[in-house]
Amino acid sequence: MKHNRIKIASFTIFVLMVLFYFSLTQAMSFGRDFPGMTQNSKPGETVEKGIVILVEFPDVKHDVDRHFVQTRFSQRLNSYFKEMSYNKVSLEVDVTKKWYTMPKSISEYKISSRNLEVDKSRVRRLIDDALDAADGEVDFSKYSFTAIFMGAKLTEYGMIGLCGYPGMLGWNTEGALKTKSGQPVKGGIAIFSFQAHIGTLFHDIAHILGGVREGKRMVPCLYDHDLQAKPGPMRETFVDATINMGFWDPMSCHFYKRELPPPGISSWTKMRFNWIDQSKIKVIKPDQVTEVVLGPLEDGLSEVLAVKIPFSETTYYLIENRQPIGFDRHLPGSGVLIMYADDNIAECRHGKAPVKLMNADPSVQNLEGACFDIGRKDSFQDSKNKINIQLKEKIERSYRILIRPL
């Protein structure tokens, strides 16, 4: 009897091992069939894989630790992406095991801090040299984005962060990025000084992950490039260029204050990423009288996260509610933001922008008083488009809003 029990137990263990092996191979096959997913991904979650290439220069000393870089991308930036996407997207980032020394001094790569004045050949030179240096040790087919992380300061390189593709060197990456051995580099590539803020890391990687559609970047810069090119102190000039979205989206500002984490992104940027479920976007015709309760944008459980009022196929108002929740604790204030969007406009140039805040209090600089709120500025009207937006009541962190034609 004892012998039979041992045989039965052994057979049971064998069956369990076979079933475990079968399920494991099925999971691995699933991961291969759907490269956007990994074995660790949750249902409905896309895992974006990135490679960070560590580069240094023969004439620049640094003491940046590899673990510091890994933590910034894999933990802090990943946490930001997960919160902004309502856990739809996470990052899986590898960092090269060593620092690659570039063949030229940093002066050969240094660029202007003004986007419109950058010598693009220098950007391309750094990208090519970094890709070639890592060519033999990195399989670029595994990654959807690449970042070059420099052991150099802003003052040494000239810019704290930039996107090469789709960005400074054009939108189309197909066939544009290859290593010396011919490895294609997918998605796009960004360059960062080691001083880059988490908001800066997000800003430029968002360009890559947002992609390009019909010749337009889906997630463009929201600051004015012409104003950013004006002479003057770097930070002050940049802040003066944030005339469209101020400090309410890191695609505009990178960060509100350097010592703080970045603020959350706007509903416009979330919609460009397709991170807001369509059921949570309330579409209201401008000739209708409608009341809606708008929850905080950061609270993914809210029934309504954004209100859209279309005037044509490409022009519309967006209304969102920004409350001190999560990363939105790092905003200039709280309340209801109203934005006018025009999808025909690709980039912030020549005084135009694809999205622009309606400013509740123009007496406050840099759009820091842009929020509408009960007891302050609680209504907005547009006589041209014949629309009135009235904040009727604040219910805990939500707002009851009346939208009606003029």
What residue ranges do the domains of the chain occupy?
A: 46-219, 267-405
What does the H/E/C string look like for 366-396?
A: HHCCCCECCCCCCEEEECCCCEEEEEEEEEC
Rounded to whole angstroms, the Cα distance separating 53 from 148 reads 5
**Angle at 317 (CA atoms; ends 85, 277), nearest 5 degrees:** 30
Rounded to whole angstroms, the Cα distance separating 7 from 169 reads 68
Q: Which residues contact 174 (CB under 8 A, 6 or more apart)?
A: none
User: What pLDDT is recorded for position 44?
Assistant: 72
User: What pLDDT is recorded for position 3?
Assistant: 45
Separation of first and last alpha carbons in the chain: 89
User: What pLDDT is recorded for position 139?
Assistant: 97
DSSP three-state, residue 342? strand
Bridge partner residues of 342 (DSSP): 315
Bridge partner residues of 390 (DSSP): 379, 402
Q: Which tokens sit at 331? A: 């905003």
User: What pLDDT is recorded for position 265?
Assistant: 98
Domain 46-219 in this protein, CATH class: alpha beta
CB–CB of 59/53 below 8 Å?
A: no
Positions of the chain with pLDDT under 70: 1-43
Long-range contacts of residues 325-329, Cβ cutoff 8 Å, at least 24 apart? 325/296, 325/298, 325/299, 325/397, 326/83, 326/264, 326/298, 327/80, 327/83, 327/84, 327/261, 327/262, 327/263, 327/264, 327/298, 328/263, 328/264, 328/296, 328/297, 328/298
| Torsion from C-alpha of 296, 297, 299, 302, nearest 10 degrees | 70
User: What pLDDT is recorded for position 41?
Assistant: 53
User: What pLDDT is recorded for position 42?
Assistant: 66
pTM above 0.85, yes or no: yes
